[in-house]
């Protein structure tokens, strides 16, 4: 705060005059320059040693020279080091680490105040030089005043300033004290009892009285404000006000009261306080202005409450926006396929029912990517996913606004063509076929087979219409693929063959010629996985990635049939989450209440399949490699089945590398590093080593799968991406 500014300015002026006088006296040489005297003394010392050294050089009397040099160095505290250097650069005599003190200065270099040298002659030729290192002449700025002119100058200015301030403060009249006689003590006490701040000002706007409330606002004692100009306080004007006059100034100028003026005041580094100011002039008995009175109402607590309320309102708006965004995401999840961005199967049938009820003529085009399994086998599932994405994109771009592109399942798509009959639907399908055949997705060339049907062909229901398109698609595939066939063009022999295949699919024989031992009903795994897709999309995507990683880790450790069983168990190892969320109803006490996810998954698998192989793989995946006192019923070490050990490693790795809400997943290297800490306790060390060898491949796949799995966040690829021969 600017307290007693008039005294400070006066003292500073007197100190400036004293400083000017000292500088002038130093300019005219009235003060001896101790630096010049010291420099001359150093020159004399160097020249003396040079004379003696020259004499010693003539007679090669080095012992005497060395003795003299050492005595001079020991007796002269201003000398850092002394050296007698020959013309070839070698030191003939050196005292007190001269080589380090002198540095790398070459002969003939100009002398300075800290490094002086004088040449030595012998028989008229240059023999060498005397070198002496001194400390700097300039003492620190705050050294004792007697050590330098600058120190003395600073000392005199400080003394003059302090003495002038104290002297002026004592002899000048104390304006603050005048209030003691002009304002009665009972008035002061009454003012101090008010909650509002009060200032009484004279006609020059100097403070005659400040009550305790105002002093608290400023952060000083009331007496220290007496005599100050009220204008000097740290006011902060209202930026919305165009009036440059303070309220009491305007009151004195206009001669009338000023009310409700908003001002701010800042006490040091504390936050600005907002004040509502009222000011009114004080008039004498003769009507002349004697001063003004100003009152200050602190609005800061109210403004803080308003600010807090504003923050709450902003948070509410942000929460509302987040809810709206989540609702849009949920709507997208309900309508779109996660991998391809196309509409999902549910959206397709909803739109089909609307069109059917409207009795409009429309067509459907079934699309199946040719030899998609071989693409997955040759290039991997990540490339297969890219192919599916590319196919969906080309179908959307080619169909444009004329059709609705849906992912029917696996590598199958369906294009719905509203208000289009068979006559136009077939050319549209042909343009779709040509568009796909002309594209390459990465280095993979793709073709597709197409089946077309239209309501005008006599279907009695949506399902019949879809069956007709499916049989037409079957005809395209059986007659060479990469072609378009409409319902009505399919040969009768192919229709009979299709019916025979359907009958075989509906019987109870296993899907594979080599079923997994003890496992029946691979269709049950697909059904459970489809339920998991519907109930929790991200968990289904996680399960699919775990199944793929299990298959890679198990190569060379398990037979192909055991690997198939492990992948099936991996796909449904989290089915217990569906139960825990209430999406899978159970009867009676078939499942234990309060069980954890692993136990719930085990119980569901035991109830769903005749064999308990999948249940055992899932349950034993919870076992620790080291013996655990909390799981005495589970095996440990090498007694844990290999398939369960692999599932535990793959499940944990994918969990660590996947995004969870606002927490991004770890990189493959960091995830493996975290898991390596638990090798030998939670995990099989040999499997962690095998996982480390795959780190680079896993890093690429983790980044790719992250970009595919969450934009948009909808359904994952169907379980059709693995099969009995994988």
Question: Over the stretch 547-605, which tens digit does the pLDDT of each residue have?
Answer: 999 999 998 889 888 899 999 999 989 888 877 776 655 544 444 444 578 888 888 88
DSSP characters for 536-551? -HHHHHHHHHHHHHHH
- CATH number, domain at 282? 3.30.450.20
Say how many residues make up the chain: 726
Instruction: Kindly indicate the confidence band of residue 517, based on its pLDDT and cuts at 50, 70 and 90.
Output: very low
Determine, yes or no, domain membership for 599.
yes
In this predicted structure, the answer to whether residue 415 has a pLDDT above a threshold of 90 is: yes
Q: Distance (Å, rounded) from C-alpha 99 to C-alpha 130?
A: 13
Cα 576 to the chain's mean position, in Å? 35
Mean of the pLDDT values across residues 104-126?
A: 78
Long-range contacts at 469-475 (CB < 8 A, ≥ 24 apart) = 469/364, 469/365, 469/366, 469/414, 470/366, 471/495, 471/498, 472/366, 473/366, 473/367, 473/368, 473/449, 474/498, 475/451
pLDDT in tens, 470-513: 999 999 998 889 999 998 888 766 666 666 565 555 544 434 33
Which residues neighbour 253 within 8 Å (Cβ) at sequence distance 6 or greater?
Answer: 245
Q: Distance (Å, rounded) from C-alpha 78 to C-alpha 116?
A: 13
Q: Give the percent of the chain with pLDDT over 90.
A: 21
pLDDT in tens, 436-479: 999 888 888 999 999 999 999 888 889 889 999 999 999 999 88
In this predicted structure, the answer to whether residue 57 has a pLDDT above a threshold of 80 is: no
Paired with 343 in beta bridges are 336, 406
Q: Which two tokens stand for residue 150?
A: 């600058």
Domain count, the chain: 5
- At residue 163, φ and ψ (nearest 5 deg) are -65, -40
Determine, yes or no, domain membership for 331.
no
Q: CA 389, 392, 397, 400: dihedral to nearest 10 degrees?
A: -150
pLDDT in tens, 530-548: 778 777 888 888 999 999 9
Residue closest to 345 by CA, chosen among 413, 411, 398, 425: 413
Q: Which domain holds residue 227?
A: 176-298
Q: Is residue 443 classed as helix, strand or coil in its secondary structure? A: coil
Contact 124, 93 (CB under 8 A): no
In this predicted structure, the answer to whether residue 713 has a pLDDT above a threshold of 70 is: no
Same domain, 469 and 541: no
Q: Distance (Å, rounded) from C-alpha 61 to C-alpha 63?
A: 6
Same domain, 200 and 343: no
Same domain, 22 and 128: no
Same domain, 158 and 9: yes
| Helices (H) then strands (E): counts for the chain | 26, 17
Same domain, 445 and 460: yes
Determine, yes or no, domain membership for 648.
yes
Same domain, 578 and 664: yes
Determine, yes or no, domain membership for 326.
no
Same domain, 538 and 502: no
Determine, yes or no, domain membership for 304.
no
Same domain, 455 and 489: yes
Same domain, 127 and 210: no
* Mean pLDDT, the chain, whole residue set: 79
Instruction: Kindly indicate the confidence band of residue 32, based on its pLDDT and cuts at 50, 70 and 90.
Output: low
Please tell me the pTM assigned to this model.
Answer: 0.34
- CATH number, domain at 123? 3.30.450
Out of 249-258, 311-320, 648-657, 667-676, least confident range: 249-258
Determine, yes or no, domain membership for 41.
yes
The residue that leads in pLDDT, 192 or 481, is 481
Which residues neighbour 124 within 8 Å (Cβ) at sequence distance 6 or greater?
Answer: none
Mean of the pLDDT values across residues 652-665?
A: 87
- CATH number, domain at 367? 3.30.70.270
Output the CA–CA distances (angstroms, integers) from residue 274 to 112, 271, 293, in the order listed.
62, 10, 19
Same domain, 404 and 463: yes
Same domain, 95 and 146: no
Same domain, 13 and 83: no
- CATH number, domain at 682? 1.10.3210.10
Determine, yes or no, domain membership for 310.
no
Instruction: Name the domain boundary from 269, 298, 327.
Output: 298
In this predicted structure, the answer to whether residue 648 has a pLDDT above a threshold of 90 is: yes
Alpha helices in 372-516 (DSSP H): 372-379, 381-399, 422-437, 462-478, 492-506
The residue that leads in pLDDT, 661 or 4, is 661
Spell out the SS3 assignment of 178-212.
HHHHHCCHHHHHHHHCCCCEEEEEECCCEEEEECH
Which residues neighbour 582 within 8 Å (Cβ) at sequence distance 6 or greater?
Answer: none
The pLDDT of residue 647 is 94
Q: Residue 178: left (phi > 0), alpha (psi -120 to 50), or beta? A: alpha
Determine, yes or no, domain membership for 309.
no
How many other C-beta atoms are found inside a 10 Å radius of the C-beta of residue 248? 24
């Amino acid at each position: 705060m600017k307290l007693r500014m008039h005294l400070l300015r006066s003292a500073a002026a007197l100190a400036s005059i004293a400083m000017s006088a000292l500088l002038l006296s130093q300019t005219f040489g009235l003060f001896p320059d101790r630096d010049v005297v010291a420099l001359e003394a150093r020159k004399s010392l160097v020249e003396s040693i040079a004379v003696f050294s020259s004499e010693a050089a003539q007679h090669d009397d080095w012992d005497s020279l060395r003795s003299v040099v050492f005595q001079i160095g020991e007796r002269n505290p201003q000398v850092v080091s002394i050296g007698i250097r020959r013309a070839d650069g070698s030191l003939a005599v050196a005292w007190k680490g001269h080589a380090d003190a002198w540095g790398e200065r070459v002969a003939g270099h100009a002398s300075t105040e800290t490094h002086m040298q004088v040449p030595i002659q012998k028989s008229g030729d240059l023999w060498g030089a005397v070198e002496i290192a001194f400390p700097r002449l300039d003492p620190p700025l705050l050294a004792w005043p007697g050590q330098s002119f600058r120190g003395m100058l600073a000392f005199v200015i400080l003394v003059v300033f302090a003495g002038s301030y104290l002297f002026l403060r004592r002899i000048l009249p104390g304006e603050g004290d005048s209030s003691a006689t002009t304002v009665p003590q009972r008035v002061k006490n009454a003012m101090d009892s008010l909650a509002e701040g009060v200032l009484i000002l004279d006609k020059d706007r100097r403070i005659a009285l400040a009550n305790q409330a105002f002093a608290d606002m400023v952060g000083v004692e009331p007496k220290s404000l007496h005599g100050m100009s009220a204008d000097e306080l740290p006011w902060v004007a209202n930026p919305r006000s165009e009036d440059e006059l303070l309220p009491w100034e305007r009151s004195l100028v206009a001669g009338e009261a000023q009310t409700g003026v908003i001002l701010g005041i800042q006490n040091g580094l504390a936050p600005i306080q907002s004040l509502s100011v009222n000011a009114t002039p004080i008039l004498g008995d003769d009507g002349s202005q004697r001063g003004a009175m100003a009152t200050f109402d602190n609005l800061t607590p109210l403004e803080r409450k308003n600010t807090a309320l504003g923050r709450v309102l902003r948070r509410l708006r942000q929460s509302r926006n987040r809810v709206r965004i989540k609702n849009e995401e949920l709507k997208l999840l309900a309508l779109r396929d996660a991998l391809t961005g196309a509409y999902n199967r549910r959206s397709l049938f909803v739109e089909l029912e609307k069109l059917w009820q409207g009795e409009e003529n429309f067509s459907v085009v079934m699309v199946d990517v040719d030899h998609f399994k071989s693409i997955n086998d040759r290039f991997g599932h990540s490339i297969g996913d890219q192919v599916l994405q590319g196919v969906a994109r080309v179908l959307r771009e080619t169909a444009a606004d004329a059709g609705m592109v849906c992912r029917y399942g696996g590598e199958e798509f369906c294009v719905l063509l509203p208000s289009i009959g068979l006559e136009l639907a077939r050319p549209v399908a042909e343009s779709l076929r040509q568009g796909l055949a002309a594209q390459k997705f990465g280095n993979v060339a793709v073709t597709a087979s197409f089946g077309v049907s239209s309501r005008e062909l006599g279907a009695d229901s949506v399902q019949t219409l879809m069956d007709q398109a499916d049989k037409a698609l079957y005809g395209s595939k059986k007659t060479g693929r990469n072609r378009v066939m409409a319902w009505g063009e399919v040969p009768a022999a192919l229709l009979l063959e299709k019916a025979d295949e359907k009958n075989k699919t509906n019987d109870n024989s296993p899907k594979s010629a080599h079923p997994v031992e003890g496992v029946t009903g691979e269709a049950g795994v697909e059904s459970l996985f489809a339920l998991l897709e519907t109930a929790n999309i991200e968990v289904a995507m996680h399960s699919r990635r775990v199944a793929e990683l299990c298959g890679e880790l198990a190569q060379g450790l398990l037979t192909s049939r055991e690997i198939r069983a492990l992948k099936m168990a991996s796909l449904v190892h989290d089915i217990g989450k569906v139960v825990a969320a209430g999406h899978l109803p159970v009867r009676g006490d078939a499942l234990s209440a309060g069980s954890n996810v692993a136990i719930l998954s085990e119980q569901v698998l035991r109830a769903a399949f005749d064999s308990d192989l999948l249940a055992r793989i899932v349950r034993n995946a919870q076992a620790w490699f080291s013996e655990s006192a909390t799981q005495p019923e589970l095996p440990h070490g090498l007694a844990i089945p290999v398939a369960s050990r692999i599932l535990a490693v793959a499940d944990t790795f994918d969990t660590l590398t996947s995004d969870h809400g606002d927490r991004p997943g770890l990189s493959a290297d960091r995830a493996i590093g975290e898991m390596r800490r638990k090798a030998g306790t939670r995990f099989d060390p040999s499997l962690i080593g095998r996982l480390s060898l795959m780190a680079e491949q896993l890093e690429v796949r983790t980044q790719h799968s992250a970009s595919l799995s969450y934009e948009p966040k909808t359904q994952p690829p169907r379980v059709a991406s693995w099969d009995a021969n994988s």
